Structure 1
Amino acid sequence: MQLKSLRIFREVARTGSFVAAAELLHTVQSNVTAHIKKLEEELDAKLIERHGAVRLTSAGQALIQYSESILSAHDEALSLFRKNASPRGRLRIGAMETTTALRLPPILAKFHKAHPEVDIELHTGPTADLIKGMMAGQHDCIFVAGKVNHPRLHQFRAFDEQLVLVSGRHMDKMPAPQELQTATFLAFRQGCSYRQRIELLLATHGVHATRIFDFGTLDAMLGCVAAGMGYAILPSMTVEAHRHRFEVHSYPLPEEIGQVTTYYAVPEMDTWTPAMTAFADVLRRATDAQVFT
């Protein structure tokens, strides 16, 4: 069915007249008749009673409901991409738990204030899961730790993080290899880049096996670290922001392990919605990220 045919059918139903519908749509009556006939042939159903006053048949009554929905969705989609129109629709953002907890809230608040008609969906997960979700079409944009080598993703530096070793007791220096050998580490599930830093830290101290427990939330991890359950590796800024809630201590990691950049990853620019373009602009202003500038 052509959209034009549905628009003509809708006007005939509204006006109750082929002539009136033709005048409203700036066409001739024969064109209106031809489109109605075409619809009836495609659906193999009589849509309009033509004897006496024009009225919809039962089939016509059923089609008019779908016509309204189809034409409304079509018009809404056009308005979504119309130049100079206010961004609307939804924006699906994927981010790491630590980024979501501290870095994104002020940026999301600015974006929502500037573009209140956009519905924001925020999903958290480890870097590996976020990339898989992006490739599966589940996210419009993602924030990941470290640059990812993928031909379909464009990535831009958003935040620089200094990672620290976190413990429930004070540390004047890095724990000895013997202590690390028997220590328990708490981390987000497999695919988390900070978990990989744990393995790298242990390897630099000659430790090749230790216990790493999976945690789903930042609060749970910090709470268990404060209780003395084990160590964690997290961004320094995140730890400082939660120190008033959890009695934890930290020690900076060596630069080659502790320096991590969070990247903003997006698909090709010609696939962006207006909401994605607006968010990239807010992000650029907030972080000086060179997002398609």
Structure 2
Amino acid sequence: MDALKLSQLQFFVAVLEEGSVVGASRRMNCVASNVTARLKELEQLLGQELFLREKGRLVITPAARLFYREAKPVVLNAARLLHLFEADAPRGILTVGALDVALRRFLPERLPAFATAYPGVELTLLMRPSYTLERMLADGDLDLALTDGPIQHPLLNSRFAFAESLSLVVPSHITAIKEINWPTTTVFLFNTDCFYRSCFERWLKKRGIETPVIQTIESYDALHACVAAGLGVSCFPDSMTSPQDCDDLNGVRFLKPDDLASAPVYFVWRRDSVCAPAIHFVEHFAQHE
């Protein structure tokens, strides 16, 4: 069976709404014989008589009434699709992946204004670790990512978003780094695909600090609890702390070594397939730094 054509549906709907082939031909800006031909094609495809032809006029059949009910929304939606991207503001479904730190403060503080300014953009927001975000971008599974950078990759471009400060998290009875007995201290960190873990490991190496073990715990709440219990130390991005933490409550203290560098977070996208919604997303957030 041949596929239905949109033009056949448009001619059919026009005939029913105008009440005649002549009226439909005026609406469709064509000759009446063209309308008649499309109707006959449609009837042959459907295997149904849509009109009874009596003395030069068309009588609508029950089958035609049913078919009109189904065909009308298709014709309306097709007309709407033609104008879907004509608005000045961008439209589309934008898929963005982000580090947990970007989802904690940076994005929540700015997303409402973006959604208000660009109502035609439907946002899908995913939380993933940095190495996963880079892979998903390279595979085309994301339009945009907020991850550590700058990215050095032949397929990707990046732009600075914000800087994330890091803190050494210790039990509250420790007031200075020199009080830590590193050879007997356990370090609790996220998995090896966490950018902040690699930053802290570089800091340890730069200082010549050797620790007996690094335990992997992928939960800031659990990390906090282990440190508060006096089991070891950790490293937190400041976005993952609360005001209560900064007051040295809840059993932990946050130390700020001068040589523990901040970690920059970047917008990252594919060079060959950046879309208009992604461009507006980056520009909007850059204006609200």
Asked if residue 68 in structure 1 is aligned to residue 70 in structure 2, the reply is no
Q: How far, CA to CA, are the matches of 1:56 and 1:214 in structure 2?
A: 70
Q: How far does residue 159 in structure 1 lie from its aligned partner after superposition?
A: 0.7
Match of 1:130 among 125, 129, 133: 133
Q: What's the CA shift string for 1:185-243, capped at 9, x where partnerless?
A: 132x4522112224334444353762322325x44544544444543322235436562
Structure 1 residue matching 2:36: 3-state secondary structure: helix
1:151 aligned partner: 154
Aligned AA (2:51): E
**Contact 2:189/2:223 (8 A) holds in 1:** yes
Structure 2 residue matching 1:282: 3-state secondary structure: helix
1:99 aligned partner: 102
1:166 aligned partner: 169
**RMSD (CA atoms):** 3.5
Match of 2:215 among 201, 212, 235: 212
Q: How far, CA to CA, are the matches of 1:123 and 1:67 in structure 2?
A: 38
Structure 1 residue matching 2:135: 3-state secondary structure: helix
Q: How far does residue 29 in structure 1 lie from its aligned partner after superposition?
A: 1.9
Query: What is the percent sequence identity of the aligned residues?
Result: 26
Asked if residue 251 in structure 1 is aligned to residue 255 in structure 2, the reply is yes
Change (3 A) 1:236 1:123: same
Q: How far does residue 15 in structure 1 lie from its aligned partner after superposition?
A: 3.7
**Contact 1:90/1:120 (8 A) holds in 2:** yes
TM-score of the aligned structures, taking structure 1 as reference length: 0.76
Structure 2 residue matching 1:81: 3-state secondary structure: coil
Gaps of 5+ in 2: none
Aligned AA (1:140): D
**Contact 1:92/1:122 (8 A) holds in 2:** yes
Aligned AA (1:155): S
Q: How far, CA to CA, are the matches of 1:201 and 1:26 in structure 2?
A: 74
Change (3 A) 1:177 1:25: same
2:201 aligned partner: 199
Q: How far, CA to CA, are the matches of 1:16 and 1:168 in structure 2?
A: 83
2:34 aligned partner: 31
Alignment size in residue pairs:
278
Q: How far does residue 265 in structure 1 lie from its aligned partner after superposition?
A: 1.2
Aligned AA (1:285): Q
Runs of 4+ off more than 6 Å: none
1:290 aligned partner: none
**Contact 2:94/2:123 (8 A) holds in 1:** yes
Question: Which stretch shows the higher mean deviation, 140-149 or 243-252?
Answer: 243-252
Match of 2:145 among 142, 147, 159: 142
Question: Which stretch shows the higher mean deviation, 96-105 or 235-244?
Answer: 235-244
Computing the radius of gyration from Cα coordinates, the structure with the larger value is: 2
Match of 1:231 among 230, 233, 240: 233
Asked if residue 11 in structure 1 is aligned to residue 14 in structure 2, the reply is yes
Match of 1:51 among 47, 50, 53: 53
TM-score of the aligned structures, taking structure 2 as reference length: 0.77
**Contact 1:162/1:252 (8 A) holds in 2:** no
